[in-house]
Amino acid sequence: MGNSYGYVRVSTSEQNEDRQRLAMQLAQVPEGNIYMDKQSGKDFERPMYRRLLRQLKKDDVLYIKSIDRLGRNYEEVLEQWRMLTKEKKVDIVVLDMPLLDTRRGKDLIGTFLSDIVLQVLSFVAENERKNIRERQREGIEAARLRGVRFGRPRTPVPENFEQACGKWISGEISGREAAKQCNMPSSSFYRKAGDFHSEELSGSQ
């Protein structure tokens, strides 16, 4: 028998990994053999996961709480599973899905069943990730239609900005002189003036 390892992943530093760690303890994975990344599952370029790969040897067992903790990209999850089980000859145990335990059913039927379940679950995880992105995009678009502005709030302009901007647009003074009157860097003045001019045009339509 090889060694037992656990892999834990949360998407952000604010998320809590306690449930995954508890599951590893219940599976009797040594604390020192648990590797954790606080990073998105969109790909496998994660530092602790890469370090874990270097540790895994033939007949070792890798525990994960659920398939989406391994990753969220459908094709890459299948590729990693194939590499771990076929090339490294490591067993994988998905704790919340008993059918995904490569220690069992190593005959042809058992392997086939495990592969089918894995492909279905990986597809569901990938599809859900795409749905989340689509819902986010639709939410942002709906908010924009309601007039919600995104990005950093605009910095206020001096009280005489509109007057100085009007003089610059009409050609009475140069842009550099207008910026000087407003006590602003020229680059900031030109940017704000462009925004002001665009708003004026849209308001007159």
Query: CA 79: distance to chain centroid?
Result: 20
Active-site annotation holds for 202: no
Which residue in the list 4, 11, 40, 170 is annotated as catalytic? 11
Residue 98, phi then psi, degrees to nearest 5: -55, -30
* Distance in angstroms (rounded) separating the CA atoms of residues 1 and 48: 24
Residues 6+ apart with CB under 8 A from 140: 150
**Residue 98 per-residue DSSP state:** T
**Residue 107 per-residue DSSP state:** S
For the annotated catalytic residues, the residue numbers are 11
